[in-house]
Amino acid sequence: MSDQAKQSGGTGKVIFFAILALIVIAIFLVPTGHGGLAFHPMDQFEIKALFGGDIHWYTVTNATLWMGLTVLGVVLLLVVGSSGRAIVPSKGQSIAELTYGFVYKMLEDVGGKDAVRYFPYVMTLFCFIAFSNVLGLLPVSFTPTTHIAVTGVLALLVFVFVTVLGFVKNGAAFLELFWVKSAPLALRPVLAIIELISYFVRPVSHSIRLAGNMMAGHAVIKVFATFAAIKLIAPVSIAAIAAMYGLEILVAFIQAYVFTILTCVYLKDALHPAH
């Protein structure tokens, strides 16, 4: 688990430095007098009311639209796709079944047999994140998962659910999660503090990993796109956009996978807290 966290943190860092380097290059390359390049890589993340007016909690915004499209995508894949109920599946049904099998197996392998009860919940998270990430790769689209408000709520839902579940299933024995029995007695209190801190950091890393990865990729593509305005760099810039786009497709699925598998790990901790 910590390996995955480190890895995705690594890609995040690389992307961050890539953006920095690009911005520095841009500043040196572009004569200030021209004013030709205008960097607005973050504009794409702005929340806008679709029908104008102020944004209240109930206002229909671009976030609403793209979340709605996510629901539509899920329905198309899993409901319409599987409507044939064929023994020999069609292409759509195959994809629906593969998605089902993929998440189900992940939950069973990582979380254990009794975690399978929470399959609809885990599947909901995976479908929402995967569809939101992939739909966000369409040009001029909006990606809900680039927003810390969205991923934060997703991560907090998991955190609260898992914590409550842990206490309901195990009672006070859930606290054994923080009491590492395999360590020497003298070390245990220290480890307990570390474990406790790492437990509360979970929702933070869980949410920022997803939002950070998604946001960084989209921002980098936007920066490359801005460079395309310089004739000399344009071919390189367009090639780089294509390459980044391919990477982003990968990242879209990997981040959905990482978020889901971490949820499975947390579920396992809640169901079987003893080390």
Partner 1 sequence: MATETHGAVEGAAGMPQLELAHFPNQIFWLLVTLVVIYFVLSKVALPRISSVLAERSGTIMNDISAAEELKLKAQDAENAYNKALAEAKAEAQRISGEANAAIQAELDVALAKADAEIAAKAAESEAAIADIRDNAADSVKIVAKDTAKELVAAFGGKADAKTLTAAINARLKG
CA angle, residues 267, 111, 121, in degrees to nearest 5 = 60
Q: In whole angstroms, what is the distance from residue 89 CA to residue 205 CA?
A: 39
264 binds partner 1 (CB under 8 A): no
For residue 62, CA distances in Å to 153, 154, 204, 216, 219 come to 18, 19, 25, 20, 18
Secondary structure class of 60 (helix, strand, coil): coil
Span interacting with partner 1, options 70-78, 180-188, 225-233, 240-248, rule CB under 8 A: 70-78
63 binds partner 1 (CB under 8 A): yes
CB of 54 to partner 1, least distance (A): 7
DSSP per residue over 175-204, as a string?
Answer: GGGGS-TTS-GGGHHHHHHHHHHHHHHHHH
Q: In whole angstroms, what is the distance from residue 114 CA to residue 269 CA?
A: 12
Span interacting with partner 1, options 57-65, 234-242, 247-255, 260-268, rule CB under 8 A: 57-65
Total residues at interface with partner 1 (CB under 8 A):
51
Among 96, 107, 244, 271, binds partner 1 (CB under 8 A): 96
Q: In whole angstroms, what is the distance from residue 23 CA to residue 75 CA?
A: 41
158 binds partner 1 (CB under 8 A): no
195 close to 136: Cβ distance less than 8 angstroms: no
Among 7, 90, 124, 198, binds partner 1 (CB under 8 A): 124
Amino acid at 125: L
127 binds partner 1 (CB under 8 A): yes
Return the residues of window 194-253 that contact partner 1 according to CB under 8 A.
Answer: 211, 215
CB of 65 to partner 1, least distance (A): 9
Site of interaction with partner 1 (CB under 8 A): 42-43, 45-47, 54-59, 61, 63-64, 67-68, 70-71, 74-75, 78-79, 82-83, 85-87, 89, 93, 96-97, 100-101, 119-121, 123-124, 127-128, 144, 146-150, 153-154, 157, 211, 215
